[in-house]
A and B are shown apart, each in its own frame.
Chain A
Amino acid sequence: MKKLVSLLLALMMLFSVAAFAESTTEVNVDTNTARENLSWEFKGDEYKLVCYWPAPDVFFDNYVLQGLEAFEKDFGQHVEWRVGTEWTQDVENQTCEGLRAQGYDLFYIFGADTSGANALYKDLYDSGAKVVNYAGLVDDPQESAMTLCSNVYVQAYNSTLKLIEEMGEEGTIIDVLEQLGDVNTQKRQQGVEDAVAEYPNVSIVQTLADITTAAQGHEKVSDALAANAGVKGIIATGGTASAGLATAMADYYAVNPDADHIFCATMDQGVEVMEGIANGYVDHTVSQNGWAMGYVSPLILMYLADGWEPINWGAHVDTGYIFITAENQDSWQTDIEAAAMQMIASLETDVLKQPE
């Protein structure tokens, strides 16, 4: 009887947990207007499209998936989307190869490993499929037709410039990075360091790295704030590190109510970050255009399937970004929409060339 009650409790727990699952926020882009700018009549009735993201992630759910669903609605195509169980190239390879075996031939993939992803892309191309890499850069030489993502270097550089401006162009900064082996992290680090190098009265007092969870970010940032009394600014250039940074800043001010304001810059629009902007302990965050990645990538793949070619093989197509601050925290989506529209409109002229 006791075991039965325990089992029932376990089942109740699972069902109640599932019943309360959360919904996502919405980005509203007027895609019909954007579609009208396209001149090409697509040849096929059905395109075998696949979208792959390496592991469950808020950014994918909130933005990429919404773009994907809007694409499906607008073009009447189904995109088979998969999210990996682990952020590893191995899982990504197995999933994508399995889908290729099922006949899917148009892939847009976020490379789990910036080096290993190229091998997968090459294998897929060799088997007759087409690939667009998205959401993050991979190492050279490129083995996918193109990469759709924000320019992480430019984002980090400009975010740092904005932070320095907020700091009054003087003081020390803590730079919070994620995984050092990731080429995107390296570009972000370079962006921060290049921006700081332009200001003689600003320096990086400490760099934190190897952060893979928000909890790790929280702990490391808390330690670094203790180690660097008088620090004037802190910047995170990755989404996970930003979540940890935001909770650490909330904790810092809660524990030290008389502490001076530390200017804080983050990446993405995670719940913790947006709460930080609303409460004043995060000064600005960089919003990447995940919606455009989800919408435009399959569109490009349809062009490729119809014989179009990239103007520059392996080129990086910048999906743009905007800053979110206390001033535009409720209206930032309008700016994202404008960037997405502009991108869709320029596909046939700036990104792809017609078959000869």
Chain B
Amino acid sequence: MSMEATNASSKKVPLLKRFFVQSYSSAVSATILLVLIFSIFTTAFLSNYNLFNLSRTVASYGFIAAAQMMVVVIGGMNVSVGSVGALCTVVCGLLMQEAHLPTILVVPITIIAGLICGWINGQLITRLKLAPFVITLAMSFIYDGVATGVSHGYPYKVNAGFDELGRGRFLGTSQLFALFILLVLVLVVVFRFTLFGRNVLAVGGNEAAARLSGIRADRITVLCNMLSCGMAAIAAMLWTSRTGSASPTTGADWMLYSVAVCAIGGISLNGGNFTAIGFFCGALILTMVRNGLTMLNVDIYFEKAFLGVIILFAVSVESIRSRVARRMV
């Protein structure tokens, strides 16, 4: 082996090592692996229509996961994420179908509805000093009950042109995906370069220490809950925009998938960390697995089991990696 080659290889090892110790490395590796598997074993995975579909679904799950992530980073949990989605879908649909409001008014009102839900969650969590899981679980019944009680399960028609966002293209991809990229960039800026972001991570990392250092932890908790539910409201509108129908059953399975994206993406469920690449890959992995299972035409009786195995695998890899990485550092 020449001297140059030896030098090159010694330079490569630290690079790989540096990649390996990152919390997003397992998510990135899993993403690449899944793309390869589905590309090789299915004929339509890389077709234009499927990639377009995938980009839209990734974006939808991305916003849903962002709703969960905003409270996971402070060590909390929002069980009501799907119920807020359902309620906001109903609000959006009602304002369009029954109140005949223009889209430009419906969008902010729906987001405000989500923010109010989050404010209520946050206030209850900080005032009653109960676990976020318990509070948001109880609130999920209330939001869900109001959504169902008002809609009676009926879907609402949306304004003409509202589905443009969900079906439109932008720079070769979907508009939804472009929005998701924008969201990820905003999250990077917030968590890396703003005081608010750093305070959020500090509260998530060690709330007692954060309080001692002067951070108003309760205020951060309320704000994160508001952002969480606001994000759920946006996710609800994006999904409505894609389907062209405001169905009150929207959000029924959001809780599970939103937590899964965070876990797969290497975001600690104990709070205190955020990785944009991991978060992005987490949404991508979950979407690809669901899409890929349909593409592979797997046995319908075992489909859920396959999904569970792949999610478990992705989460386990991250757990093993983090333990090995701790030893390496």
Binding site for B on A (CB under 8 A): 3, 6, 9-10, 13-14, 16-18, 20-22, 24, 56-58, 61, 85, 177, 180, 206-210, 212-216, 218-220, 222-229, 240, 243, 247-248, 250-251, 254-256, 270-272, 275
A61 and B243 in contact (CB under 8 A), knowing A17-B94, A229-B47? no
A212 and B252 in contact (CB under 8 A), knowing A61-B154, A254-B167? yes
A313 to B301, CA, bound (A): 33
Residues of A contacting B250 in the complex (Cβ-Cβ under 8 angstroms): 213-215
Contact assessment for B153 and A57 in the assembled complex, using a CB-CB cutoff below 8 Å: yes
The tally of residues in B whose CB lies under 8 Å from a CB in A reads 56
Residues of A contacting B47 in the complex (Cβ-Cβ under 8 angstroms): 226, 229
User: Among A14, A16, A216, which residue has its beta carbon within 8 angstroms of that of B253?
Assistant: A216
Residues of A contacting B98 in the complex (Cβ-Cβ under 8 angstroms): 20, 22
Main secondary structure of the interface of A (DSSP, over half): helix
Interface status of B29 (Cβ within 8 A of chain A):
no
Interface status of B199 (Cβ within 8 A of chain A):
no
B306: shortest Cβ distance to chain A, in Å? 12
Contact assessment for A219 and B300 in the assembled complex, using a CB-CB cutoff below 8 Å: no
Contact assessment for A226 and B53 in the assembled complex, using a CB-CB cutoff below 8 Å: yes
Contact assessment for A271 and B167 in the assembled complex, using a CB-CB cutoff below 8 Å: no
Could you list some 20 contacts between A and B, CB below 8 A? Answer: A3-B123, A6-B116, A17-B90, A17-B94, A21-B151, A22-B98, A56-B149, A56-B153, A58-B153, A61-B152, A61-B153, A206-B294, A209-B300, A209-B303, A210-B303, A213-B252, A215-B239, A224-B294, A225-B49, A251-B163
Chain A: CB-nearest residue to B44: A227
Interface status of B146 (Cβ within 8 A of chain A):
yes
Contact assessment for A17 and B120 in the assembled complex, using a CB-CB cutoff below 8 Å: no
Residues of A contacting B290 in the complex (Cβ-Cβ under 8 angstroms): 219, 223
Contact with A along B79-115 (1 / 0, CB 8 A): 0000000000011001101110000000000001100
A207 and B152 in contact (CB under 8 A), knowing A212-B252, A256-B49? no
B316: shortest Cβ distance to chain A, in Å? 24
Interface status of B126 (Cβ within 8 A of chain A):
no
Q: Which 10 pairs from chain A and chain B are nearest by CB?
A: A20-B98, A226-B50, A223-B294, A209-B300, A247-B243, A213-B249, A56-B153, A20-B94, A10-B116, A56-B148
Given A210-B303, A210-B304, A216-B252, 11 additional A-B pairs, CB 8 A: A17-B146, A21-B94, A61-B154, A85-B145, A206-B297, A209-B303, A210-B300, A215-B243, A215-B252, A223-B290, A271-B245
Main secondary structure of the interface of B (DSSP, over half): helix
Residues of B contacting A21 in the complex (Cβ-Cβ under 8 angstroms): 94, 150-152
Contact assessment for A13 and B247 in the assembled complex, using a CB-CB cutoff below 8 Å: no
Contact assessment for B44 and A272 in the assembled complex, using a CB-CB cutoff below 8 Å: no
Contact assessment for B247 and A243 in the assembled complex, using a CB-CB cutoff below 8 Å: yes
A17 to B147, CA, bound (A): 9
Residues of A contacting B49 in the complex (Cβ-Cβ under 8 angstroms): 225-226, 229, 255-256
Chain B: CB-nearest residue to A17: B150
Interface status of B244 (Cβ within 8 A of chain A):
yes
User: Among B90, B155, B294, which residue has its beta carbon within 8 angstroms of that of A208?
Assistant: B294
Contact assessment for A227 and B42 in the assembled complex, using a CB-CB cutoff below 8 Å: yes
Chain A: CB-nearest residue to B87: A17
Contact assessment for A226 and B44 in the assembled complex, using a CB-CB cutoff below 8 Å: yes
A270 and B155 in contact (CB under 8 A), knowing A14-B146, A22-B98? yes
A222 and B112 in contact (CB under 8 A), knowing A22-B154, A180-B301? no
Contact assessment for A214 and B154 in the assembled complex, using a CB-CB cutoff below 8 Å: no
Chain A: CB-nearest residue to B42: A227
A100: shortest Cβ distance to chain B, in Å? 25
Interface status of B295 (Cβ within 8 A of chain A):
yes
Contact assessment for B294 and A247 in the assembled complex, using a CB-CB cutoff below 8 Å: no
Binding site for A on B (CB under 8 A): 42, 44, 47, 49-50, 52-53, 57, 90-91, 94-95, 97-99, 112-113, 116, 119-120, 123, 145-146, 148-157, 163, 166-167, 239, 242-245, 247, 249-253, 290-291, 294-295, 297, 300-301, 303-304
Residues of A contacting B116 in the complex (Cβ-Cβ under 8 angstroms): 6, 9-10, 13
Contact assessment for A223 and B94 in the assembled complex, using a CB-CB cutoff below 8 Å: no
A250 to B152, CA, bound (A): 24
User: Among A229, A251, A272, which residue has its beta carbon within 8 angstroms of that of B242?
Assistant: A251
Chain B: CB-nearest residue to A218: B243
B305: shortest Cβ distance to chain A, in Å? 11
Contact assessment for B53 and A222 in the assembled complex, using a CB-CB cutoff below 8 Å: yes
Contact assessment for B294 and A227 in the assembled complex, using a CB-CB cutoff below 8 Å: yes
A243 to B155, CA, bound (A): 9
Contact assessment for B150 and A18 in the assembled complex, using a CB-CB cutoff below 8 Å: yes
Residues of A contacting B304 in the complex (Cβ-Cβ under 8 angstroms): 210
A251 and B167 in contact (CB under 8 A), knowing A17-B91, A216-B253, A225-B49? yes
Residues of B contacting A213 in the complex (Cβ-Cβ under 8 angstroms): 247, 249-250, 252-253
B274: shortest Cβ distance to chain A, in Å? 27
Chain B: CB-nearest residue to A221: B294
Contact assessment for B245 and A272 in the assembled complex, using a CB-CB cutoff below 8 Å: yes
A183: shortest Cβ distance to chain B, in Å? 15
Residues of B contacting A254 in the complex (Cβ-Cβ under 8 angstroms): 163, 167, 244
A214 and B249 in contact (CB under 8 A), knowing A223-B53, A226-B47? yes
Residues of B contacting A272 in the complex (Cβ-Cβ under 8 angstroms): 155, 245
B56: shortest Cβ distance to chain A, in Å? 8
A206 to B42, CA, bound (A): 14
Residues of B contacting A223 in the complex (Cβ-Cβ under 8 angstroms): 50, 53, 290-291, 294-295
Residues of B contacting A240 in the complex (Cβ-Cβ under 8 angstroms): 249
Chain A: CB-nearest residue to B147: A17
Residues of A contacting B166 in the complex (Cβ-Cβ under 8 angstroms): 251
